Amino acid sequence: MEIKIKNLQKIVRKIFLKKKFNKQHSDICSKALINAELVGAPSHGLSRLKMYCDRIDKKLINPKPKIKIRKISNSISFIDANNSIGFVAADTAIKTLIKNTKKTGIGLVGVKNSGHYGLSGYYVEQAVKKNLMVWCFTNAPPAIAPFGAKKTLFGTNPICFGTPSGGKAPFILDTSVSMINRGIIRVAARLGKKIPAGVALDKSGNSTTNAKKALRGVQLPIAGFRGSGLAWMVDILSGVITGAAHGGKVRDPFDDFRGPQNVGHLFLAIKPNIFIGKNYIKRIKENIRIIKKLPRAKGFDAISYPGENKAKRFSKNSKKKINLPREIEKDLEKLVSASS
């Protein structure tokens, strides 16, 4: 199905409104989900809408959260998201972070009792647009085996970092520490497609390209103990320090309906001009220019900085209709009719 972005936004907003979300929260959720489609990350877009709605119906996501923001200092805030949907928790957190950082040059916001919030880059971009340098960390349900273990425990635990680039597209590195995003495997499983070799093992520990088998098995971390160590760091930052779930206890939103997810996030930002003033923009532009001009390896038309291609996809996709797979279309139809 091809559909205009505006119309799709209306449908998604309507679904959240019918689930008793207020207007502002419905707006935040529909924008975040459709942004994922526009940047070319459908694994974090509408393919998850049914899951979110299931969790709302089962009272595992709170449609009317009382989000508490505790101010610890001018720089630091702590948020209890009261089992709100992750989008709303993260939106509250990034706005609080921006305020704190603008005031003092450095800001930190911890979040507990949250849920899956979609793409980290979406929140990072909001802060970068306010001329900040920012990190977002979040933990996630078990997907990766710690180095030396044969059982999954860490989530794909992304590290996301952004900074103004001095150009049109912000510099946004949004990388999970697994060889592949779990969302990509999920979409492949739903659509019956294969996944690349070398990114996951099945339940018995054999390499597999079957997405369904991979979901029941283990995803491989990048670079052995290095990737495993980074995933561990993200679990500490997101879960241990905030009082959220950690150590493999974040619930899988698709499979585990025994309770709320209790995902944790940590957002951190600094003013990039704190040390050298306006020169920062001059220097980051120079840095990017130097690297983009390097001689290219075989098979590469250009050397891109992180976030550059995503921004291009966003700008291209924003001008046309969105093409939804039949599976997703069915979800939308059901959700709209069920909730009207």
Residue with tokens 């999954």: 152
- Written as one letter, the residue type at 13 is R
Does residue number 191 form part of the binding site for its own copies (CB under 8 A)? no
Does residue number 58 form part of the binding site for its own copies (CB under 8 A)? no
Sign of CA dihedral 298, 299, 304, 305: negative
Closest distance to its own copies from the beta carbon of 309 (Å):
10
Closest distance to its own copies from the beta carbon of 112 (Å):
8
Closest distance to its own copies from the beta carbon of 331 (Å):
31
Residue 219 — left, alpha, or beta (φ > 0 → left; ψ -120 to 50 → alpha)?
beta
Does residue number 296 form part of the binding site for its own copies (CB under 8 A)? yes
Considering only 294, 319, 337, 340, the residue that binds its own copies (CB under 8 A) is 294
CB 298 within 8 A of CB 128: no
The helix/strand/coil state of 23 is: helix
Does residue number 136 form part of the binding site for its own copies (CB under 8 A)? no
Closest distance to its own copies from the beta carbon of 163 (Å):
6
Considering only 32, 87, 306, 310, the residue that binds its own copies (CB under 8 A) is 306
Considering only 1, 3, 51, 173, the residue that binds its own copies (CB under 8 A) is 173
Considering only 1, 247, 313, 317, the residue that binds its own copies (CB under 8 A) is 247
Alpha carbons 90 and 118: distance in angstroms, whole number: 9
Does residue number 279 form part of the binding site for its own copies (CB under 8 A)? yes
Instruction: Report how far apart, in Å, the C-alpha atoms of 50 and of each of 55, 310, 328 are.
Output: 9, 25, 9
Alpha carbons 182 and 178: distance in angstroms, whole number: 8
The site that binds its own copies (CB under 8 A) totals a number of residues, namely 72
Span from 30-38, 46-54, 60-68, 296-304 in contact with its own copies (CB under 8 A): 296-304
What is the C-alpha radius of gyration for the chain, rounded to an integer number of angstroms?
20
The mark string for 6-45 relative to its own copies (x by CB under 8 A, - otherwise) is ----------------------------------------
Does residue number 338 form part of the binding site for its own copies (CB under 8 A)? no
Angle between helices 308-317 and 23-38 (to 10 degrees): 110
Q: What is the DSSP string of 189-229?
A: HHHT-B--TTSEE-TTS-B--BHHHHHHSEEPBTTTHHHHH
Q: By C-beta, is 9 or 104 nearer to its own copies?
A: 104
* Interaction residues for its own copies, span 71-130 (CB under 8 A): 72-73, 75-76, 78, 104-106, 108, 110, 112
